[in-house]
């Protein structure tokens, strides 16, 4: 998780954007597992 934050900071991506992406990815994974 810290690795993502450092990469995001280097590319000027806000922490909020990273968190929303992580949330979306985890949601997709949960949906795939439930199928």
Domain hosting residue 7, numbered range = 2-34
How many domains, the chain?
Answer: 1
Alpha-carbon gap, residue 9 to 19, rounded angstroms? 13
Give the pLDDT of residue 22: 92
Query: How many Cα neighbours within 13 Å face the side chain of 4?
Result: 10
- pTM score above 0.85: no
**Per-position DSSP letters for 1-35, written without gaps between them:** -HHHHHHHHHHT--HHHHHHHHHHHHHHHHHHHH-
User: pLDDT digit string (tens) for 11-30?
Assistant: 787 888 888 999 999 999 99
């Amino acid at each position: 998780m810290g690795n993502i934050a450092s990469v995001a900071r280097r590319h000027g991506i806000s922490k909020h954007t990273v968190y929303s992406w992580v949330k979306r990815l985890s949601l997709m994974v949960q949906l795939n597992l439930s199928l």
